[in-house]
Structure 1
């Protein structure tokens, strides 16, 4: 089983929650939509991938222009 990373996107920032394989919340916090936060998010995603042996599922609702920076980062 793998982790799930969920985002609640708003203008310029997102609330991020990481759930483990047992659907327990491991982390909840806020990230801003900037380079520094996306670099930290990338490190987190790499760590979770190494831990589980597969990439985590990522869930968020596309909110038009607010979610574009996150979509762009995840697409890259």
Structure 2
């Protein structure tokens, strides 16, 4: 799932380890999130959004991800 975690973290001049400590996960989890290899729990997504003063919808590009998923389903029909 596309997200803005890396973009917002870098704009805040924050390391992966610093973000991990703020949201109570390992730096490995942050790395996986940034690579789009891991979809977080709603609570973790909310914690990250709060760190950056944004919404979960914005952080995880939900409108864009929904449109991409909708298109994939339409292509299957």
TM-score range, shorter chain: 0.3 to 0.5
Of Structure 1 and Structure 2, the greater strand share is in: 1
Structure 1 length normalisation: TM-score?
0.35
Question: Which one has the largest radius of gyration?
Answer: 2
Q: TM-score, length-normalised on structure 2? A: 0.35
- Which of the pair is proportionally richer in helix? 2
